[in-house]
Amino acid sequence: MPPSGQQQPTGFPWQGTIVPWSAALRSKPTLQSQTLADLPRGDKVKVLLRSQGWLYVEHKNLLKGYVSQELIQPVALPSPAATSQKSKKDWQLLALQNAFGKTLAQQILMKAAWIPENGFEANQQIIAKLYDYYGALYLRNPGKFQWAGLARVAGGPFYQGFCDMEQQRAAAQARVDWLNEHYIWATLSARRTAAADLAAMAAATQLQKALELLMYMGQDIFNDLAWLHEAYHAAGLPELKRLLGLGVVKPAYYSAWEMIDSNEPQTMWQGNVELLRFEQRDILKVGYQELQKIPLTPTIMSALANCPHPWGKSFYGYHGVAKGREVTRYVDRWEWMEKNIWPTWKAQTEAARTRLINLSLADLGARKF
């Protein structure tokens, strides 16, 4: 710890980066003191003060200690002029490029890619890249980007669900195509078809609609929340405050980011909970309302809704099967998330969460934890 009562001097804090392959974070400004952690090359730290050739720093995991001053070099932060001209579209473009690469990002902007009506197969690689991006976003700042980490882990079961639904849709569509080829259609009453054939036609239509809705919902989440992470990561809370003043950032969103920026662990977690609440209550509201209109979909989704990580309960495991709860209803879904999925995610160590985030989508979807 720094000397008792010592005030933070002028010119501090500032951002620094670790220069050698590894730098010891020590409990006191001496080589003989306890090593709290080994900080790898390139890691960012907040330098709080200088003491006898040592820098007292805060690491991204909120651990504080001393690093020998020659092992840290200052990071050139973006000047106000560099960020003051950025619009929401600029930050959204950066998010697209970081998620999908410049070429695919441009195609998405031109509406030549990530088109849900084209079906899951046409969008499969994009969706995989989307969930990988959330994982990379979390790893940029594990102490503050908890929403992104959970989004990555949730991507496993969602991606597996997309694949399963596409297989079912394709099988149903193959049956419909066979019927179209082998039967003469005059009127519905003249058509000799079994009830199973009619079910196949209905299933193909319903599954296609559900897939489209879920893909649009994924787009909505990305468009609403990813760019805020990029703006905060690149330019901090002042940039979000500037955009708040322009009416670009919603006041409730800014309040959440104030909490995330606080550097107080419980408050940072609460800010991330608020982002999750905005996602489930506001961003996905219309999508879930439309899913509720598709026959059997709420029941099927509720039965299949599992906790995305190994530490929580499934939707029915939490609520019980016989209580009439549906995952497509916000109040039922949010209670499950707020009281089970989120607290059990929060209760784990950063190492445990990071290990899960680094698993493949296939392993996450298959629950090979």
Q: How confident is the model at residue 10 (pLDDT cuts 50, 70, 90)?
A: low
**What domain range is 67 assigned to?**
14-74
Residue 264: which residues within 8 A CB-CB, separation 6 or more? none
What pLDDT sits at residue 186?
A: 40
Residue 216: which residues within 8 A CB-CB, separation 6 or more? 116, 287
Q: How confident is the model at residue 250 (pLDDT cuts 50, 70, 90)?
A: very high
Does any domain span residue 1?
Answer: no
Residues 330 and 302 in one domain: yes
The pTM is what? 0.72
Q: How confident is the model at residue 190 (pLDDT cuts 50, 70, 90)?
A: very low
What pLDDT sits at residue 345?
A: 97
Three-point CA angle 152, 131, 171, nearest 5°: 115
Neighbouring C-beta atoms of residue 61, cutoff 10 Å: 13
What pLDDT sits at residue 7?
A: 53
Does any domain span residue 126?
Answer: yes
Length of the chain in residues, anyone?
369
Does any domain span residue 37?
Answer: yes
In this predicted structure, the answer to whether residue 54 has a pLDDT above a threshold of 60 is yes
Q: How confident is the model at residue 12 (pLDDT cuts 50, 70, 90)?
A: confident
| Identity of the amino acid at 116 | P
Does any domain span residue 2?
Answer: no
Residues 62 and 143 in one domain: no
Residues 167 and 247 in one domain: yes
Residues 233 and 204 in one domain: yes
Neighbouring C-beta atoms of residue 18, cutoff 10 Å: 22
pLDDT > 70 in the chain, percent: 82
What pLDDT sits at residue 175?
A: 63
Report the range of poorest mean pLDDT among 96-110, 165-179, 202-216, 239-253.
165-179
Neighbouring C-beta atoms of residue 333, cutoff 10 Å: 23
Query: Of 74, 94, 115, which one is at a domain's C-terminal end?
Result: 74
Average pLDDT over all residues of the chain: 85
Does any domain span residue 35?
Answer: yes
pLDDT > 90 in the chain, percent: 55
Q: What is the pLDDT of residues 126-150, one digit of tens each?
A: 999 999 999 999 988 888 999 999 9
Does any domain span residue 281?
Answer: yes
Residues 236 and 336 in one domain: yes
Question: How is residue 361 written in tokens?
Answer: 């989508």
What pLDDT sits at residue 90?
A: 95
Distance from C-alpha of 321 to C-alpha of 327, rounded to nearest angstrom:
12
Distance from C-alpha of 104 to C-alpha of 200, rounded to nearest angstrom:
35
Query: Of 38, 54, 74, which one is at a domain's C-terminal end?
Result: 74
In this predicted structure, the answer to whether residue 151 has a pLDDT above a threshold of 70 is yes
Query: Of 55, 74, 93, which one is at a domain's C-terminal end?
Result: 74
Residues 348 and 248 in one domain: yes
In this predicted structure, the answer to whether residue 276 has a pLDDT above a threshold of 90 is yes
Our count of domains for the chain comes to: 2
What pLDDT sits at residue 284?
A: 97
35-40 and 22-26 strand pairing: antiparallel
Residues 325 and 271 in one domain: yes
What pLDDT sits at residue 184?
A: 46
Residues 49 and 192 in one domain: no
Q: Is the dihedral of CA 221, 142, 338, 305 positive or negative?
A: positive
Does any domain span residue 4?
Answer: no
Residues 166 and 277 in one domain: yes
What pLDDT sits at residue 329?
A: 96
In this predicted structure, the answer to whether residue 161 has a pLDDT above a threshold of 90 is no
Mean pLDDT of the region 303-324 = 91
Q: How confident is the model at residue 20 (pLDDT cuts 50, 70, 90)?
A: confident
Distance from C-alpha of 164 to C-alpha of 124, rounded to nearest angstrom:
12
Does any domain span residue 5?
Answer: no
Q: Report the half-sphere exposure of 85 (CA within 13 A, side-chain side).
A: 3
Residues 58 and 136 in one domain: no
Q: What is the domain-level CATH number for residue 40? A: 2.30.30.40
Residues 304 and 200 in one domain: yes
Q: List b or e across 162-181, with b for residues whose CB sees 16 or more CB atoms inside 10 angstroms.
A: bbebbeebeebbebbeebee
Residues 181 and 212 in one domain: yes
Secondary structure (3-state) at 106: helix
